[in-house]
């Protein structure tokens, strides 16, 4: 798991904070579905409503695919937030696009993967956000089960959990992110979204989110 470029990470962090796609509330944490308390809420779908931010993200995701997987033959978005990002990338690269559902469609063909399935095709997976990596890696496995060769994955943002790094390593899939939690925090201080005196607490959350207390 790595970021594409430190300069890009800072620029993406600034923009996501500016449009409130990333919100930080260490004093009033959010509660995730898992029950974890979190000082951060990230909704990268908001970036789609801001052309400047949308293009910044698209251009750098395209750059990541071209740099790390120049022989990619198709792009796969992970439902639902990875779908628009993936479609934008595929369009710029003039590659086929497919997307992976979280569960099979409940009627008709009951598809898990939407689009043309071409066994042996080299595919790069697109996510908007990676937390533990569970749903992302499930999508990658679904693609493998359908016969695709999964080359790697790109994402806009990652929380940078050790568990996610371990999960991706065990799955043998490289993950390239435009920005992650550790790179975002100093930008949040610089831009005065948070005070420097809460940095230690915010850093501790990333290390052990299940037992973090604000």
Task: Judge whether 135 is annotated as a binding position.
Answer: yes
Task: Judge whether 202 is annotated as a binding position.
Answer: no
DSSP secondary structure code for residue 78 in this structure: E
Task: Judge whether 211 is annotated as a binding position.
Answer: no
**In angstroms, rounded to a whole number, what is the distance separating the alpha carbons of residues 158 and 143?**
21
Task: Judge whether 150 is annotated as a binding position.
Answer: no
Strands (E), the chain: 2-3, 22-24, 30-31, 37-38, 40-42, 74-78, 97-100, 113-114, 122-130, 149-158, 175-180
Beta bridge partners of 157: 129, 179
Task: Judge whether 94 is annotated as a binding position.
Answer: no
**In angstroms, rounded to a whole number, what is the distance separating the alpha carbons of residues 85 and 154?**
10
Pairing of strands 175-180, 2-3: parallel
Q: Give me Rg for the CA atoms of the chain.
A: 17
Task: Judge whether 158 is annotated as a binding position.
Answer: no
Task: Judge whether 106 is annotated as a binding position.
Answer: no
Task: Judge whether 118 is annotated as a binding position.
Answer: no
What is the DSSP annotation of 23-52?
A: EE-TTS-EE-TTS-EESEEE-GGGGGG-HH
Task: Judge whether 190 is annotated as a binding position.
Answer: no
Task: Judge whether 175 is annotated as a binding position.
Answer: no
DSSP secondary structure code for residue 214 in this structure: -
Task: Judge whether 67 is annotated as a binding position.
Answer: no
Task: Judge whether 130 is annotated as a binding position.
Answer: yes
**In angstroms, rounded to a whole number, what is the distance separating the alpha carbons of residues 159 and 38?**
11
Q: Which residues are annotated as a binding site for orotate?
A: 131
Q: Which residues are annotated as a binding site for 5-phospho-alpha-D-ribose 1-diphosphate?
A: 101, 105, 107, 127-135
Q: Which residues are annotated as a binding site?
A: 101, 105, 107, 127-135
């Amino acid at each position: 798991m790595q970021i594409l470029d430190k300069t890009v990470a800072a620029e993406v962090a600034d923009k996501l904070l500016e449009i409130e796609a990333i919100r930080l509330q260490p004093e009033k944490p959010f509660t995730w579905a898992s029950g974890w308390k979190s000082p951060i809420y990230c909704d990268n779908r908001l970036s789609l409503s801001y052309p400047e931010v949308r293009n910044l993200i698209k251009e750098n995701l395209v750059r990541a695919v071209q740099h790390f997987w120049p022989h990619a033959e198709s792009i796969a978005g992970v439902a639902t937030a990875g779908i628009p990002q993936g479609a934008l990338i595929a369009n710029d690269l003039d590659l086929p696009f497919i997307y992976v559902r979280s569960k099979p469609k409940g009627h008709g063909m009951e598809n898990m993967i939407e689009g043309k399935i071409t066994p042996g095709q080299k595919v790069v997976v697109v996510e908007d956000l990676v937390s533990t990596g569970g749903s992302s890696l499930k999508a990658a496995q679904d693609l493998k089960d359908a016969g695709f060769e999964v080359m790697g994955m790109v994402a806009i943002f990652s929380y940078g959990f050790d568990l996610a790094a371990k999960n991706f390593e065990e799955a043998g899939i490289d993950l390239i992110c435009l920005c992650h939690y550790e790179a975002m925090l100093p930008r949040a201080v610089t831009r005065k979204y948070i005070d420097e005196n809460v940095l230690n607490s915010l850093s501790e959350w990333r290390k052990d989110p299940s037992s973090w207390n604000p």
